């Protein structure tokens, strides 16, 4: 199913921290926007066909605006630079309706929210919701330095400020986030929500698993997968099950690119293994998963993959196309 799109106006663009801008998006006709739940994101359509996902960071009870924040990443393929350098107040943008792959668990007795850098955006929205519900939670927010910490004033003035612990990588050793201590000290039944750079997320999730946290209590959202070509990437083949057609995937192309070259169009959005738009069933062969969309259990099942970024360990994959 294709999500509906909306046209919104950039009502406000503001610098929130070094290299981080926030954008307030409102309906073009002064109307209300579709409701969203904590953890939701929208796809933002940019010039040149780029589509990027940004988490909503405002209170999910608001219907008059969507707030997003974008980290300027010079290594990106243009999404964050376009948002910083091209998009300005008064512009209109086409976005998707909100989608949520990072929902709050309703049965959580208590929640532990961990945000690294720009990963604060969905976490802040979750904190707003949990605070409104009166639920028990703690938010640990870590950044490289104070001037890189977006929304610090908002957090400190919020109704949940007493539940927030701030950490700075360049600060005194005793205030830095000790992931192992936080995770090993959590109450049984706590649900963990984590968002931030890949290294931070890996460290948190690996530590949680090492401390025996049940998989069902771990929730995460990556911003962008590390899908740059890896040394040692090899060519392989994909076979279209319905036609028997075999297509070569060169070492320097993605499966989606190779399929397109052969006239087979797979719908994509993020092209980074984040959104799940391109998910395709795999009938035979061994997948080399490069996405962050599936859980590790789903990846192990080896029956579907994200052809925008994932590859093959075997010489051929047979796809249910």
Tokens of 174: 């005793």
Nearest distance in Å: CB 267, ligand FES: 8
Tokens of 56: 């909503």
Q: How many CA atoms lie within 13 A of 215 on its CB side?
A: 5
How many Å from the N-terminal Cα to the C-terminal Cα in the chain?
A: 17
Q: How many CA atoms lie within 13 A of 167 on its CB side?
A: 19
Q: What residues contact 178, with CB distance under 8 A and at least 6 apart?
A: none
Residues that bind ligand FES (CB under 6 A): 268-271, 273-278, 291, 293, 306, 308
Nearest distance in Å: CB 51, ligand FES: 9
Q: Are 195 and 224 in contact (CB under 8 A)?
A: no
Q: Which is nearer to ligand FES, 87 or 227 (CB)?
A: 227
Cα dist from 160 to 68, 105, 157, 163, whole Å: 20, 19, 8, 5
Nearest distance in Å: CB 225, ligand FES: 8
Q: State the pairing for strand pair 5-17/51-55.
A: unpaired
Q: Which is nearer to ligand FES, 19 or 291 (CB)?
A: 291
DSSP 8-state secondary structure symbol assigned to residue 241: T
Q: Are 122 and 195 in contact (CB under 8 A)?
A: yes
Nearest distance in Å: CB 40, ligand FES: 16
Nearest distance in Å: CB 234, ligand FES: 21
Nearest distance in Å: CB 131, ligand FES: 32
């Amino acid at each position: 199913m294709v999500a509906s799109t909306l046209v919104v106006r950039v009502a406000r663009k503001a610098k929130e921290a070094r290299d981080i801008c926030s954008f307030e998006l409102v309906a073009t006709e002064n109307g209300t926007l579709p409701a969203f739940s904590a953890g939701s994101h929208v796809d933002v359509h940019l010039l040149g066909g780029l589509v990027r996902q940004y988490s909503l960071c405002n209170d999910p009870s608001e219907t008059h605006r969507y707030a997003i924040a974008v980290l300027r990443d010079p290594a990106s393929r243009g999404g964050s630079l376009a948002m910083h350098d091209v998009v300005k107040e008064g512009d209109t943008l086409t976005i998707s309706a909100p989608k949520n792959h990072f929902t709050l668990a309703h049965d959580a007795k208590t929640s532990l929210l961990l945000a690294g850098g720009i990963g604060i955006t969905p976490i802040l929205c979750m904190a707003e919701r949990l605070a409104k519900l009166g639920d028990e939670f703690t938010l640990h927010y870590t950044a490289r330095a104070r001037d890189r910490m977006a929304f610090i004033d908002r957090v400190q003035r919020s109704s949940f400020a007493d539940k927030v612990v701030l950490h700075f990588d360049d600060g005194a050793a005793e205030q830095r986030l000790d992931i192992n201590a936080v995770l090993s000290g959590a109450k049984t039944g706590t649900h963990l929500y984590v968002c931030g750079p890949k290294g931070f997320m890996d460290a948190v999730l690996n530590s949680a698993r090492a401390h025996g946290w049940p998989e069902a209590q771990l929730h995460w959202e990556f911003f962008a997968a590390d899908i740059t070509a890896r040394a040692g990437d090899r060519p392989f083949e994909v076979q279209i099950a319905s036609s028997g057609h075999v297509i070569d995937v060169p070492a320097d192309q993605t499966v989606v690119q190779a399929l397109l070259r052969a006239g087979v169009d797979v719908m994509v959005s993020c092209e980074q293994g984040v959104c799940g738009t391109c998910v395709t069933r795999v009938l035979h062969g061994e997948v080399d998963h490069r996405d962050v969309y599936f859980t590790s259990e789903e990846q192990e099942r080896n029956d579907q993959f994200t052809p925008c970024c994932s590859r093959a360990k075997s010489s051929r994959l047979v796809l249910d196309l």
